[in-house]
Amino acid sequence: MNKLVIIAAAVTASMTSYHVVAETAVSVVGTPVAAVYNINHAKVAPVIDGVANEGEWTSAQALTDFTFPWRDTPAPATTFKAVWNADALYFQYAVTDANVAIGTDPERAILDSDRVEIFLAKDANLSRYYTLEIDPKARVFSAEASYDMVNQKRASLDSNWTWKGLETKASLTDNGYVVEGKLPLQTLTDLSLWQNKQQTQLLCALMRAEFTQQADGKLDMGWMTWVDPKTPTPNFHNPQTFGTCRLVK
């Protein structure tokens, strides 16, 4: 099977830290709209080493509102944190996972692995958006993609595209794994990802692929997200998965 076809099929599928769920804004008629996660400013940037050192993330909000939209079972714990400074955006996923799957196939190892995901979009129609998927070995799958609003499906995906200046680290823990990353603010500017002139708002989607290796060698593929996109089958590649990540001081 063509490698691109395989990849496309896989991818569709405060100074005190405190736990929060994504804020849900409400319109004047009471209809819920996109979720919001506040990325707090950090006076001291965390060290990107893949180790969940709480002291380095004290200024970050802890987003824990991740669910299985396409399953009736409780989702294992996932905590996302992000902070920023004048140079970069820093992020961390701390994941509870009793059975960490790590792919070994040379052509699709990351897509066969447990992983955490961040998508960032140029606009609400997803005329251009960028994926970032990181597995427990800090390996990265990234892509430049576009969405077809008329036909309600992904229109393109270039898996040869990569994030400029991205740094990632990861480590296994006693109950799962930790992934950390650093993304230069200049990269976000170069990609025209800022949603306002003040360069404080991003269209973002936060997800997790939760895989379990079965006895027959097959993978049980679970898909977790911070926002339920209300699609009939697992699908992160749609506007409903996105909310706002807001840089605040």
The structural domain count of the chain equals: 1
pLDDT band at 106 (very low <50, low <70, confident <90, very high): confident
What is the spatial distance between Cα 243 and Cα 246, in angstroms, rounded to a whole number?
10
Chain-centroid distance of CA 81 in Å reads 11
Structural domain range at position 217: 3-248
Identify whether the C-beta of residue 61 lies closer than 8 Å to the C-beta of residue 79.
Answer: no
Work out the mean pLDDT of the chain and round it to a whole number. Answer: 89
Q: E strand or H helix at 10, and its extent?
A: helix 3-12
On the question of pLDDT at 18 being above 70, the answer is no
Q: What is the pLDDT of residues 228-238, one digit of tens each?
A: 999 999 999 99
Helix-, strand-, coil-residue percentages of the chain, each rounded to 5: 10, 45, 45
222 - beta bridge partners? 210
Q: How long is the chain?
A: 249
Q: What is the C-alpha R_g of the chain?
A: 17
- The pair of structure tokens assigned to 118 is 């961040």
SS (H, E, C) 64-87: CCCECCCCCCCCCCEEEEEEECCC
Q: How far apart are CA 76 and CA 57, in angstroms?
A: 22
Question: How many C-beta atoms surround the C-beta of residue 220 within 10 A?
Answer: 11
DSSP labels for 197-225?
Answer: TTS-EEEEEEEEEEEEE-TTSPEEEEEEE
Q: What is the pLDDT of residue 69?
A: 97
pTM score: 0.87
* C-alpha to C-alpha distance for 68 and 238, rounded to whole angstroms: 16
Report pLDDT digits (tens) over 39-69.
Answer: 999 999 999 999 988 788 999 999 999 999 9
Instruction: Assign residue 167 the CATH number of its domain.
Output: 2.60.40.1190
Percent of the chain with pLDDT over 90: 82
DSSP state of 46: P
> pLDDT tens digits for 117-155?
999 999 999 999 999 999 999 999 999 999 999 999 999
Query: Once rounded to an integer, what is the mean pLDDT over residues 195-209?
Result: 98
- Find, among 100, 17, 21, 76, the residue nearest to 52 by Cα: 17
Comparing 14-18, 52-56, 182-186, the range with the smallest average pLDDT is 14-18
